[in-house]
A and B are shown apart, each in its own frame.
Chain A
Amino acid sequence: MQIKANLLEERFTSKETAQKMKKFSCISEMADHIFEEYKEKIALVDNGIEYTYSDIEKKVGAIRNALNENGIKEGDKVGIFYPNSADFVIAAMAVTSYGAVVVALPYHLDEKTLYGCTLKFQISALIYDSMSEEKVELAYKLNSNLKKILSDKIADGFAPSNKVSPDAPCAIVFTAGTTGQSKGALLSHKAILAGTMNGCMGFRDYDVFGQRYFLVLPLTHIFGYVRNMMTALYTGSSMYICRDTKNMFREIPTYNPTIMIMVPALAEMALGLTKMLGTKILGNSLKHIVAGAAVVAPRLAKEYNKLGVTLLAGYGLTESANLVTGNPDTLENPTSVGFLYPNQEIKVVDGELWLKGDNVFTEYYNDPEETAKSFEDGYFKTGDLVKFDDNGYMYIVGRIKDIIVLSSGENVAPEELESKFREIDCVRDCLIYKGTNESGNEALIFEMTPRMDVIKELGIEDVGAYCTQKVTEVNNTLLNYQKVSKIIIRTEDFERTPSMKIKRPKNIL
């Protein structure tokens, strides 16, 4: 099956939106345009401070100047290391409009991993502020070529933007994992910009320019970076940055956003909390929630509809720079992930979705083997199993790649986690996969076979209790979203492939 979606944007947007949408060849073109067009409008609200587009332009120019003074050239990799903040947005726009490649480093990386990333992604300079000095110290000690740009201490100055080719590399965004082994998807300027424009799709009855966004997703996640940050800037909207998600329902009513970009689990939680705390926690202006990055339960859209909020479910990956399908607001089919957005080609091969288009990433940086495995015939093989109905709606039915996508939008590389559990003395083999717990909720399941020789040697009587305790100890050292929430001790070996590898279950969505 093959589909070419070269339809006019009007099918996916309102007339007002279509008239305002402009195509840019690189980020510097977009930056120059928005800074001129929206000058005095509020671009960001962070930590109680409002930044107009003009304010952002000055700060972006100052960082570009610092990049220039540090000898950074077009195409050099520049890491940015911030929590969600105005500083992240400013640094990302500065690096990409300068013509360098931004490496969006997740803020939870520890100092060793951060150092590993500077090597793996061949980072020439790191931009951060004084708050993070301790965390980056090791990288500077061990990597003497690394340039340091402290954004809260840079000198005044302004360097203009630099135009680059649409195919020039623009950003490296992590796909999964938290170690230096995790993959970084390299996206070109045209990919980021196509993804940014895709953020305008789906609103057929609504002008998406001049909105009020509320940011809760990490900016280092593609959905936070492109769908939230880039589309908000592209549309001259303002974006409130929520620094601590546990305060989001206190902050939403003070800012009153019109659009929120969420992962399904967050949308589910917000709905649950409206039942306990009332709908006031969503503010009085919220019109749309865009949910993606994981499978959206159909009942969510129905429940939000009762509150006067349209929840638009879609589908996308880091490698496709944002959503590539979505439900239009006038034609909801919440059991599906909607229609294919314009200007893309897809193929369905043995049930697997293959993608081609400007928005598709260039490569996994510094990983030719993985890159080669992921492309065929010019298409990116998504690893997701899909089907289409007669009306063109797409449905995700499963996943054949090993990366687990949680409803929180976080991706888990099971093999990376399993290697940590394999270090336990009593674990012979283990497997992590996505399933459901006793309550029917999504859970990471851990299955293991014990090393009975070790158990015997230690004189352990209760094998289950001992193994559970040891597994829990390791579990407690993991990041929250990586923690397993069900432990199964097997008495029989795992089912194995002909080459004796453990047969990994398909992660059914």
Chain B
Amino acid sequence: MTREMIIEKLRNIFKMVNGNDNIEVDEATDLRTGLGLNSIGMLYMIIAIEENFGVRFENVSMGDFNTVSDVINYIEEQKK
């Protein structure tokens, strides 16, 4: 799965988590200041990613993820 394919899938997740279809997401987007995710929004994102990508977030904290790029890197790493 390419980074572009991952981000496309993530866009749909962020739309759902954010309750907004018009959000703009690129790799540099900050999860909190760009997408407005609070602690429960982050949890929502992680559960949705686990279900949609078949990966598990183990031994990591939500504080480890600041931008969309951090999330993509983690998914790529888990998919290896």
Binding site for B on A (CB under 8 A): 245-246, 249, 263, 265-266, 268-269, 272-273, 275-277, 406-408, 410, 437-444, 468, 472, 475-476, 479-481, 483-487
Contact = CB atoms under 8 A, between A and B. Distances in A.
B42 interface: yes
A466 to B, nearest CB: 15
Nearest to A408: B40
A202 B41 CA distance: 29
A246 B17 CA distance: 15
Contacts of A410: 39
A272 B18 contact: no
B16 A476 contact: no
Nearest to B17: A272
B59 to A, nearest CB: 11
A441 B23 CA distance: 12
A347 B35 CA distance: 41
Q: Is the interface of B mostly helix, strand, loop or mixed?
A: helix
A480 B36 contact: no
Nearest to A264: B40
Given A246-B46, A249-B47, A476-B63, A481 B39 contact: yes
B38 A406 contact: yes
17 contacts: A246-B43, A246-B57, A249-B47, A268-B40, A269-B47, A272-B16, A272-B19, A273-B44, A273-B48, A275-B16, A439-B36, A440-B19, A443-B38, A444-B38, A480-B39, A480-B62, A485-B37
Interface residues of B, number: 28
Given A277-B51, A441-B19, A480-B63, A266 B40 contact: yes
A134 B46 CA distance: 29
A479 B63 CA distance: 8
The 5 closest A-B pairs by CB, nearest first: A437-B36, A439-B20, A480-B39, A481-B39, A265-B40
Nearest to A268: B40
Contacts of A263: 40
Given A439-B19, A483-B32, A246 B50 contact: yes
B2 interface: no
B66 interface: yes
Interface of B: 16-20, 23, 30, 32-33, 35-44, 46-48, 50-51, 57, 62-63, 66
B33 A487 contact: yes
Given A472-B30, A485-B32, 15 more contacts: A269-B40, A269-B47, A272-B17, A272-B44, A277-B51, A408-B38, A408-B39, A410-B39, A439-B18, A441-B36, A443-B36, A481-B38, A484-B33, A485-B35, A485-B38
A408 B47 CA distance: 16
Nearest to A245: B43
B45 to A, nearest CB: 10
Contact of A269 (B30, B43, B50): B43
Among A468, A475, A483, chain B packs the most CB atoms within 10 A around the CB of A483
Q: Which residue, of A276, A277, A439, has the highest number of chain B Cβ atoms within 10 A?
A: A439
Contacts of B38: 265, 406, 408, 441-444, 480-481, 483, 485
A480 B46 CA distance: 14
A41 to B, nearest CB: 32
Contacts of A442: 38
A74 to B, nearest CB: 38
A441 B45 CA distance: 15
A293 to B, nearest CB: 12
A365 B49 CA distance: 43
A289 to B, nearest CB: 15
A468 B57 CA distance: 29
B20 A440 contact: yes
A442 B57 CA distance: 25
Contacts of B46: 246
B46 to A, nearest CB: 5
Contacts of A484: 32-33
A152 to B, nearest CB: 22
A472 B33 contact: yes
B33 A475 contact: yes
Interface centre among A468, A480, A481 (most CB of B within 10 A): A480
Nearest to B13: A276
